[in-house]
Amino acid sequence: MKISRALTTDEQIMEAVKNGELQQASVLFDRYNKRIFNFLRQLTNDSMLAEDLAQNVFLRLIKYRNSYREGNRFQSWIYQMARNVFADHYQSNKNKAGSHIDVEKMSDHISDIEENLEEREQLLHRSLAKLSDEQRELLVLTRFQHLKYEEVAAIMDTTVANIKVKVHRAIGKLREHYFELEKS
């Protein structure tokens, strides 16, 4: 099926995908793959896992294309999908292993991955790993992915004021962890 008009916005392209023009999903993949990968890599601290999860996000984009609602921002929708893929992955691993993510193990893993980075960047990433999942996710979305508070509020289905408070607290906790690690 040929497109008669030029599709420029993510929302227009997603509407075309929803209406059966599946080849248009490649445009969205080109626009968002790197961002989704980086988001997931920050959450998982594992590039290979993040790559697998990012692919799953785009597979779900096709599979659940009918759940996209016209008038909603595509970016919020795809980040929500990425959050769901991440949560599903760790929920299934939690059920298999019977335990939650070990913060100390993550810190060690981060140090191994980033051994060639400068010491301050290593401290920042180790501090980030010590945050709760929600705090880490908020900082990744707002500080690394540069999403606006309004977009994060839509993704997390809460108010902007709530997001501002939680981000403020997460930054305070990150600072606390950073200075603890710096002393040791």
Q: Are 26 and 87 members of one domain?
A: yes
User: Which amino acid is present at 93?
Assistant: N
Which range (93-102, 122-131, 153-162) has the least confidence?
93-102
Following CA atoms 76, 81, 85, 90 in sequence, which dihedral angle do they give, to the nearest 10 degrees?
A: 50
| Contacts of 163 by beta carbon, 8 Å cutoff, 6+ apart | 138, 142, 149, 152, 153, 156
pLDDT of residue 15: 93
Which pLDDT band holds residue 104 (cuts at 50, 70, 90)?
A: low
- The conformation of residue 58, written as its DSSP 8-state character, comes to H
- Asked if the structure places residue 52 within a domain, the reply is yes
Distance, CA of 59 to CA of 82 (rounded, Å)? 11
pLDDT of residue 103: 55
- Asked if the structure places residue 1 within a domain, the reply is no
Given 100, 134, 154, the domain boundary residue is: 100
- Asked if the structure places residue 43 within a domain, the reply is yes
Give the tens place of pLDDT for each residue, 110-146. Answer: 445 444 346 777 788 888 999 999 999 999 999 888 8
For range 152-159, the mean pLDDT: 92
Q: Are 88 and 124 members of one domain?
A: no
Question: Residue 77's domain spans which residues?
Answer: 8-100
Which range (120-124, 167-171, 172-176) has the least confidence?
120-124
- Asked if the structure places residue 2 within a domain, the reply is no
Phi, psi values for residue 68, rounded to 5°: -70, 130
Which tokens belong to 120?
């301050």
- Give the helix, strand, coil percentages of the chain, each rounded to 5: 80, 0, 20
pLDDT of residue 19: 93
Given 72, 100, 128, the domain boundary residue is: 100
Q: Is the overall model pTM greater than 0.85, yes or no?
A: no
pLDDT of residue 116: 38
For range 96-102, the mean pLDDT: 53
pLDDT of residue 120: 74
SS (H, E, C) 95-160: HHHCCCCCHHHHHHHHHHHCCCCCHHHHHHHHHHHHCCHHHHHHHHHHHHCCCCHHHHHHHHCCCH
Given 100, 132, 152, the domain boundary residue is: 100
Which pLDDT band holds residue 106 (cuts at 50, 70, 90)?
A: low
Distance, CA of 81 to CA of 56 (rounded, Å)? 9
**Domain count for the chain:** 2
- CATH number of domain containing 161: 1.10.10.10
Q: Are 88 and 149 members of one domain?
A: no
Query: In the predicted model, is pLDDT for residue 11 greater than 80?
Result: yes
Percent above pLDDT 70 for the chain: 83
Distance, CA of 115 to CA of 65 (rounded, Å)? 40
Q: Are 130 and 184 members of one domain?
A: yes
Q: Are 117 and 91 members of one domain?
A: no
